[in-house]
Chains A and B, each alone.
Chain A
Amino acid sequence: MYKILRKKELNPTVTLMDIEAPFVAKKAEPGQFIILRVDAEGERIPLTVADYDREKGTVTIIFQIVGGTTERLNHLNEGDFIQDFVGPLGEPSHTEGLKKVAVIGGGVGCAIAYPVAKKLHRLGAEVHSVVGFRNKDLVILEEEFAAVSDVFKMMTDDGSYGQKGLVTDALKALIESGEKYDEVIAIGPVVMMKFVSLLTKQYGIKTVVSMNPIMIDGTGMCGCCRLTVGGKMKFACVDGPDFDGHEVDYDEILKRASTYKEFEAKEREKACNLFKKEVR
């Protein structure tokens, strides 16, 4: 059992938790992920390591409430326990040797992009960050991101905060203004990563994306998280989750992600009803 030491609502649908998991905290690196089960009947879900404190033995996770399991997870409080918490899984993001990087975060993907930006900053790279949200209410980690970035651009779809527009608009403007990046790292919704990759391909800038397909074990034993990269089958849990953005078959990933859509909708409904009853 793994204790929840801190819980913080980042916005109405996104929550941060510090979990007591000393073994994971000791080894975790940006770009890696964990798999958790909320309780004994729970499913296994992957979440990226948003931060860690090796001394305190804690791992920070940030999750968006999108379905039954995240609903149930969000219902737990400080002092409660999570049934299972395993990691660190996957390969760490490659950060060595990069001098100037554009980090692009979309929505809750910013929780994954932030630790990468932080590490790059710590290693002395020049970090330009572009973060995008649907609207002002959904903004997370703004201060944290800004603190590790040499250039920081905030975008919202509706213009309710920062600049109106998509992350690709801001990235394009930076590139066209003459900024030369060693690499672009894009983390967010698949569609966003696809369009960032399409844009950077035009300019021939190496682009790394972090994939988030459906996973079960997270250790390479089932192939549920398989995807096509450069025409070859890869398992995101062991070969990734980071891949060359110009080589990934995004349309296949989008299709595979919808496999259990109906089931997921029902599960969310069930979880919501459960908590409504408890409140009464």
Chain B
Amino acid sequence: MIMPNMSLKKNPMPSQAPDIRNKNFSEVALGYSAETAIDEAKRCLHCKNMPCVGGCPVKIRIPEFIAKVAEGAFEEAYQIIQQTSSLPAVCGRVCPQETQCEAKCVRGIKGEPVGIGRLERFVADWHNAHSCDLPVKAEPNGHKVAVVGSGPAGLTCAGDLAKRGYDVTVFEALHLAGGVLEYGIPEFRLPKSIVQKEIDNLKALGVKLETNMVVGKVLSVDELMGEYGFEAVFIGSGAGLPRFMNIPGENLKSVYSANEFLTRVNLMKAYKEDSRTPVLHSKRVAVVGGGNVAMDAARSAKRLGADEVYIVYRRSEKELPARAEEVEHAKEEGIIFKFLTNPTAILEGENGMVRGMTCIEMELGEPDASGRRRPVEKPGSEFTLDCDCVIMALGTSPNPLIKNTTKGLETQKWGGIIADEKGLTSREGVYAGGDAVTGAATVILAMGAGKTAAEAIDEYISSKQ
């Protein structure tokens, strides 16, 4: 038995210094060394009832893999994680562990919880750097399943089905797989080489990937289940439709949706000097919104050389939907927060570019339907924020393309596909999960939904025989 490390604090994550990292797109967090990982792993008390596992949407056997890390058996640790998670290098980086596994950790009652995310990340990176073993493909069971969308929900569903012997084809509209992992989350939080490595791992499991395939345009769900012979379809098409505010000036040249800005920067690599896709390198950037996407857009704008970047958010700091860690990182990097502020118009300067944005101060009134205090305008408090670029990060909704082309597929008024707790939609054999069902949420919830649907699809197809 290894003696536990009773330190109250997590081993800190080595990171690039804020004033250096805000000028480059390399990863901010540098990852644990083997020694630090072993030391951190020893903080786990191996509780019998394993509350941490209950906090993980894909139920990774956390104490078991951590025990292997403590022994220095990193590949064995990976094999344990890999059985329940298809994208550990991604999850270890982008999961909000503070509200999931780590929130349930017993060590967190008196001190800091075990750095479960950091350990998961270490193990996955170690495997990707050291192991040349190809995963063992499952014995084919002769059944075909189609997955629409290669974001976290679709990839997880595909991985889990492939591990059960299904012949899985993933259809992706863009030229690269990964969904928001590829086009949304920036390189400095989630290096794209890591995303593609995880996707290669899935391909090695036998998952087929068809890029440049817009389901709803080039193929319909009905055709997939008809002439192409897929017995079930999982829709993980996300919520990629950007919202705008409908205020004057929103169509000026230097106004972006966060989706456009981040797609240019991340997917098209416009941050690189020799990129063939352009992006404006603005000097004073206002990002409207307070979620993780707003933080990503603001931190990217800073890295493209902006002198000043503002987060303009209509509620107060307490209500920010972004992860605390991302807000902290943004502040360290010099992002300026304008709380209780709402834009009313974007002002035109020379040549159709932005010269500023009029904003109004807000105060918090009574709680609204969501339980959050509703922001109310303070009369007469209008002011102009000087800026030359505005990025709208107001959230997204599901793309209507699949709904419009799939007969009998029921959706909510706001566009989300209606699915039961197992992911089954109103159509037999058609399952859905992730943001396509819930509206914009988190990577790990999408993965959890993909996992649940994979189980349901397996039950459905098995029961038909």
Contacts and interface: CB of A to CB of B under 8 A. Distances in A.
A232 B174 CA distance: 27
Given A27-B217, A252-B251, A220 B175 contact: no
A11 interface: no
B259 interface: yes
A221 B240 contact: yes
Contacts of A84: 175, 211-212
B209 interface: no
Interface in B173-225: 173-175, 211-214, 217-219
A245 B254 CA distance: 25
Interface stretch (A102-110, A164-172, A254-262): A254-262
Contacts of A263: 278
A263 B275 CA distance: 10
Given A23-B219, A41-B276, A263-B278, A233 B246 contact: yes
B218 A87 contact: yes
Contact of A255 (B277, B278, B352): B352
Given A44-B268, A68-B276, A222-B242, A88 B260 contact: no
A259 B253 contact: yes
B401 A86 contact: no
B150 interface: no
Interface string A77-89: 0000001111111
Nearest to B280: A259
A94 to B, nearest CB: 16
A267 interface: yes
B175 A86 contact: yes
A260 B218 contact: no
Interface residues of A, number: 40
B399 interface: yes
Contact of A216 (B213, B252, B268, B399): B268
Contacts of A219: 173, 214, 240, 399, 401
Q: What is the predominant secondary structure among interface residues of chain A facing chain B?
A: mixed
Interface in A226-276: 226-228, 233, 238, 252, 255-256, 258-260, 263-264, 267
Contact of A233 (B213, B214, B218, B251): B251
A159 interface: no
A217 B241 CA distance: 12
A86 B217 CA distance: 10
Interface string A34-56: 00010001111000000000000
A65 interface: no
Contacts of B212: 84-86
A24 interface: yes
Contacts of B156: none
A149 B352 CA distance: 40
A263 B268 CA distance: 15
Contacts of B280: 259-260
Given A37-B175, A220-B240, A86 B214 contact: yes
A189 interface: no
Contacts of B351: 255, 258
B264 interface: yes
A219 to B, nearest CB: 5
A109 B268 CA distance: 27
A65 B278 CA distance: 18
Nearest to A249: B251
Contact of B401 (A23, A87, A220): A220
B249 to A, nearest CB: 11
B257 interface: yes
Interface of A: 23-24, 26-27, 37, 41-44, 68-69, 83-89, 216-217, 219-224, 226-228, 233, 238, 252, 255-256, 258-260, 263-264, 267
Given A217-B263, A233-B244, A255-B352, 20 more contacts: A23-B219, A24-B218, A37-B175, A41-B275, A44-B268, A84-B212, A86-B213, A86-B214, A87-B217, A88-B217, A216-B264, A217-B174, A219-B399, A221-B242, A221-B399, A222-B257, A228-B251, A233-B251, A260-B278, A264-B278
17 contacts: A23-B213, A43-B277, A44-B277, A68-B276, A84-B211, A86-B175, A86-B218, A217-B174, A219-B401, A220-B401, A222-B257, A223-B257, A224-B256, A224-B260, A226-B244, A233-B244, A255-B253
Ordered nearest first, which 7 A-B pairs have the shortest CB separation?
A255-B352, A222-B260, A221-B240, A263-B278, A86-B212, A43-B277, A260-B278
